[in-house]
């Protein structure tokens, strides 16, 4: 659930100076050479550090977002994938621990993963990525998460709607319209999930988009499992689809060609692609609204403070209600 903002989470990283970052690394025995580069991250704060042993990444977790137990479970899942030689950035272990604390900040260290932006339209790229996801999901299906969240309509839908209505970003003249349109969309999403009840939830990446993907000489590398969750397999597949209906059908066929070499796929899940897209649309607006007092968010998303954005957004939500009823992608 997205909690309402409080004074404690408006500027949670104010005291995270470069000196504190370097001291935090030293506190767990990581050697550093003074090189420090801030990396692009909104939810957490992430830094690249130089060291005699090679580049490291230090990730400082936003306070109150995840519990220690939830972060530990993320780390164990990532380590499990890495032990199976899957291309993920696994946290560095020091004295049997991967989550550390320095002053009021919780952080973890990761290896620096070299790679470039993926080009999924390159020959066989989607098949290769599909094979990687199939292998990840085979491990994800071995056991459930105990404390990580679920991909569901309550957390990503109804709670998100509540957050937008409780926030200050949504213009007052549009509040009633947002309430009615989002409610109609959520009712249709709920119906779609009920119609496909029985789809199995497994451990998944949860936020599998191009920004969390690198590509090196050996293929794809997934660099951030911060949103790993229990959910349907298709949640990790649909965000790699873009363009016209025919283009998405081709992309889907290529992904499945690779995926099914390592994992089975329940084709009822195809019916969940547009409902899941609807939940992401709702949750993204709520996420930015919730974080708006964090100075990083107005700088990154200035258009969310404009009424014309919200008018267009409401139009997109209305269109999504109809899109859910469009024919789904076929098997191949």
Residues annotated as catalytic are 207, 224
- The answer to whether the CB of 135 falls within 8 A of the CB of 260 is no
- The answer to whether the CB of 27 falls within 8 A of the CB of 105 is no
- The answer to whether the CB of 99 falls within 8 A of the CB of 75 is yes
Of 205, 48, 15, 29, nearest to 100 by C-alpha is: 29
As a whole number of angstroms, the distance between CA 142 and CA 215 comes to: 27
Counting DSSP H helices and E strands in the chain, the numbers are 10, 9
As a whole number of angstroms, the distance between CA 185 and CA 181 comes to: 6
As a whole number of angstroms, the distance between CA 25 and CA 19 comes to: 10
Element at 221 (helix H, strand E): strand 219-222
3 state SS of 255: helix
3 state SS of 37: strand
């Amino acid at each position: 659930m997205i909690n309402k903002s409080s004074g404690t989470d408006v500027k949670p990283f104010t005291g995270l100076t470069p000196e504190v970052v370097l001291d935090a690394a030293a506190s767990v025995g990581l050697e550093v050479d003074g090189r420090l580069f801030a990396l692009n991250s909104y939810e957490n704060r992430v830094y690249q550090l130089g060291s005699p042993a090679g580049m490291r990444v230090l990730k400082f977790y936003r306070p109150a977002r995840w519990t220690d137990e939830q972060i530990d479970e993320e780390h164990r899942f990532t380590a499990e994938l890495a032990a199976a030689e899957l291309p993920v950035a696994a946290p560095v272990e020091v004295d049997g621990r991967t989550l550390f604390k320095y002053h009021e900040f919780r952080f973890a260290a990761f290896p620096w993963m070299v790679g470039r932006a993926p080009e999924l339209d390159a020959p066989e790229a989607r098949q290769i990525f599909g094979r990687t996801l199939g292998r990840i999901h085979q491990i994800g299906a071995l056991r459930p998460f105990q404390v990580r969240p679920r991909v569901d309509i309550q957390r990503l839908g109804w709670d998100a709607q509540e957050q937008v209505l409780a926030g200050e970003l949504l213009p007052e003249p549009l509040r009633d319209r947002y309430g009615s349109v989002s409610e109609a969309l959520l009712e249709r999403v709920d119906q779609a999930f009920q119609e496909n009840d029985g789809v199995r939830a497994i451990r998944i990446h949860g936020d599998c988009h191009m920004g969390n993907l690198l590509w090196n000489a050996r293929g794809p590398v997934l660099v951030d499992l911060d949103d790993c969750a229990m959910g349907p397999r298709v949640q990790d597949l649909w965000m790699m689809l873009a363009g016209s209906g025919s283009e998405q059908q081709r992309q889907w066929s290529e992904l499945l060609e690779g995926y099914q070499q390592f994992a089975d796929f329940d084709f009822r899940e195809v019916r969940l692609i547009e409902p899941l897209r609807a939940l992401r649309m709702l949750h993204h607006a709520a996420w930015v609204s919730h974080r708006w007092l964090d100075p990083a968010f107005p700088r990154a998303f200035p258009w969310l403070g404009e009424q014309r954005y919200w008018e267009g957004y409401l139009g997109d939500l209305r269109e999504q209600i109809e899109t859910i009823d469009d024919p789904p992608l076929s098997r191949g």
